[in-house]
Structure 1
Amino acid sequence: MSEKVMVKGTEAIGEAALRAGCRHYFGYPITPQSELTEYMARRLPELEGVFLQAESEVSAVNMIYGGACTGKRVMTSTSSPGFSLMQEGMSYIAGAELPSVFVNVVRGGPGLGDIQPAQCDYFQATKGGGHGDYRLVVYGPESLQEAVELTIKSFDIADKYRNPVLILADGMLGQMMEPVSFPEFKDLNSFVDHSDWAMVGTKMERDAHRVTSFNIDPYGLEKMNIKFQKKYKEIVENEKMYEEYMLDDAEVVIVAYGTIGRIAKSVAKMAREKGIKAGVFRPITLWPYPYEALAKHTDKANMFFTVEMSAGQMIEDVKLAVNGKKPVEFYGRMGGVVPTPGEIFAKLMELVK
Structure 2
Amino acid sequence: MTAAPDCPVFVSADVVRRVFEWKDAIAALQAAYGHAFTEQAAPSRSIAQSEGAWLRTLPAAPPGGRYYGAKLMGADMKAADPSVEYVVVLFERATSRIAGFVDANLLTGFRTAATSGAALDRLAPEGPGRLALIGSGLEATMHVRAFASVRPLSEVTIYSPTPEKRAAFAEAVTRDLGVPARAVQSGEEAVEGADLVLSAARSRGEVPILFGDWLKPGATIVSIGSTVPSQREIDVSVADRADFIVCDNLHEVVDETGDMIAALDAGIDVRSKSFSLNQLLSGQIEAQRQAAAMPMYKSVGGGVQDVVVAEMILTKAIEQGLAQPLPMTFDPKHL
Please classify the TM superposition score into its range, dividing by the shorter chain length.
0.3 to 0.5
Q: TM-score, normalised by structure 1?
A: 0.32
Higher RCO (CA < 8 A, seq sep 6+): 2
Q: TM-score, normalised by structure 2?
A: 0.33
Structure having the higher strand fraction is 2
